[in-house]
Amino acid sequence: MEIFPLTTERLILRRFTQHDLPAFSGYRNQPEVARYQSWSSFSAADASAFLEQQRELAFDADQTWFQIAVERKEDAVLAGDVAVHFFDGGRQAELGVTFDSSCQRQGYATEALSRVIGLLFDDLKKHRIVATVNARNASVVRLLEKQGFRREAHYRENIFFKGAWSDEYSFALLKHEWKAG
């Protein structure tokens, strides 16, 4: 059964389509969006390859990253995306989140993420959700902590990232912690 689209008060969470690609590569190319991400620039060819790979993907398939498009209801603008990595034979998931800079600081990322967390814990019965972030990426640290994620690790200079050694934090949230919170 297809899970998408899902809705929140201001957003629609759905699969990516061909129409999203200009906006998707647009925000991936914003320097402030790419700063702590694996890419530095994102071409039209990268965007097509991304869609090709996502098109066939089932949601909740072990060892895959599924990217959920987040559309603003009011004007159908692609605000950003929430990426979900399914691992541990279906028991756990990892999150990544990226929003267009013009759609940041308005609570959209919080709204989308909490819907995805609800989906993972309530509907898909995941036990634990994790996220690994650059320790300097203050906005994602705040976002995760507001959702109740605990910082479980601080890795010192564990990643050679964009020309320099960087620290990473590992965050986690258990289903029963989320229920309690």
Ligand X SMILES: CC(C)(COP(=O)(O)OP(=O)(O)OC[C@H]1O[C@@H](n2cnc3c(N)ncnc32)[C@H](O)[C@@H]1OP(=O)(O)O)[C@@H](O)C(=O)NCCC(=O)NCCS
Using CB atoms within 10 Å of the CB of residue 161, give its burial: 0 to 12 exposed, 13 to 18 middle, 19+ buried: middle
Sequence-ordered list of residues with C-beta below 8 angstroms from that of 2, at least 6 positions apart, any chain: none
Q: Which is nearer to ligand X, 1 or 22 (CB)?
A: 22
Regarding 73 and contact with ligand X (CB under 6 A), the answer is no
Q: Which is nearer to ligand X, 33 or 84 (CB)?
A: 33
The CB-of-1 to ligand X minimum distance in angstroms stands at: 29
Residue appearing with tokens 């814990």: 121
179 vs 122: CA distance, rounded Å: 10
Which of the residues 82 through 121 are near ligand X (CB under 6 A)?
A: 96-99, 104-110
The CB-of-66 to ligand X minimum distance in angstroms stands at: 15
Which of the residues 33 through 52 are near ligand X (CB under 6 A)?
A: 33, 36-37
Q: Which is nearer to ligand X, 96 or 148 (CB)?
A: 96
Size of the site for ligand X (CB under 6 A): 20
Using CB atoms within 10 Å of the CB of residue 139, give its burial: 0 to 12 exposed, 13 to 18 middle, 19+ buried: middle
Which of the residues 134 through 153 are near ligand X (CB under 6 A)?
A: 137, 139-140, 142-143
The CB-of-137 to ligand X minimum distance in angstroms stands at: 5
Q: Which is nearer to ligand X, 107 or 176 (CB)?
A: 107
E strand segments, the chain: 6-7, 11-14, 64-72, 78-87, 92-99, 128-134, 150-161, 164-174
**Candidates 1-9, 31-39, 47-55, 161-169 — which segment interacts with ligand X by CB under 6 A?**
31-39
Regarding 13 and contact with ligand X (CB under 6 A), the answer is no
CA distance between the termini of the chain? 30
163 vs 127: CA distance, rounded Å: 36
Question: Site residues (CB under 6 A) for ligand X?
Answer: 33, 36-37, 96-99, 104-110, 133, 137, 139-140, 142-143
